[in-house]
Chain A
Amino acid sequence: QVHLVQSGAEVKKPGASVRVSCKASGNTLATYYVHWVRQAPGQGLEWMGTINPSGTYTRSAQRFQGRVTMTRDTSTSTVYMDINSLTSEDTAVYYCARERVEYSSSFIFDAWGQGTLVTVSS
């Protein structure tokens, strides 16, 4: 069973940027699309975007375009998401999630990270 491990909680001031990382045990991310989903306190899930296995293609939800950057380091099989111009509305738990099938972007997330709480507060 694959385990996705994310970076630790962050506290940021409005206007700052944050980077969240996601790494899998073994090399079990290298051939999969990875997605990012966030959950504001007491709220539902919101898809943010995805990155392909080679890191050469990303797709973001329209509301995050221009503010969210997804990258991956294929040498360490680590995926990153950077969010800039943070506001209090970005306070949420951010999850990485892996596709169910290799090289597939079918939006079926069968493995999730533990979540990273990002708090934006002055």
Chain B
Amino acid sequence: QSVLTQPPSASGTPGQRVSISCSGSSSNIGSNTVNWYQQLPGTAPKLLMYGNDQRPSGVPDRFSGSKSGTSASLAISGLQSEDEADYYCAAWDDSQHNYVFGIGTKVTVL
């Protein structure tokens, strides 16, 4: 159980837009930036988004991030089969003095 709440699953057909929410509180998302990681099956996580909405070099621009208040979201537009993975949001938590991850959202491409 995490202080960052994500839906356990999300799905879409190729080409669709999928959005993943990450809900927190004033001690984490409300006061710190959010990062997102993508974990393909059987591999190490990969940085997908940092500072709420910044894409690292090499990440396609169909991935976008946003934050409002104590919630953040990751959107994938033009969903592709290679996007099938687990997605984790993360942020520093001032109350727990800990870097916390969401439970992860498994994205399935139908």
Residues of A that sit less than 8 Å from B by CB? 35, 37, 44-47, 61-62, 95, 97, 100, 107-110, 112-115
Contact = CB atoms under 8 A, between A and B. Distances in A.
B51 A113 contact: no
B47 A45 contact: no
A61 B47 contact: no
Contacts, number: 53
Interface residues of B, number: 23
A21 B100 CA distance: 23
Given A45-B101, A47-B101, A115-B44, A107 B96 contact: no
B92 A110 contact: no
Nearest to B91: A107
Interface string B37-49: 1010000111100
19 contacts: A37-B45, A44-B2, A44-B88, A44-B104, A46-B101, A47-B98, A47-B99, A47-B100, A61-B99, A62-B96, A62-B98, A95-B45, A100-B56, A107-B90, A108-B50, A110-B56, A112-B44, A112-B45, A114-B44
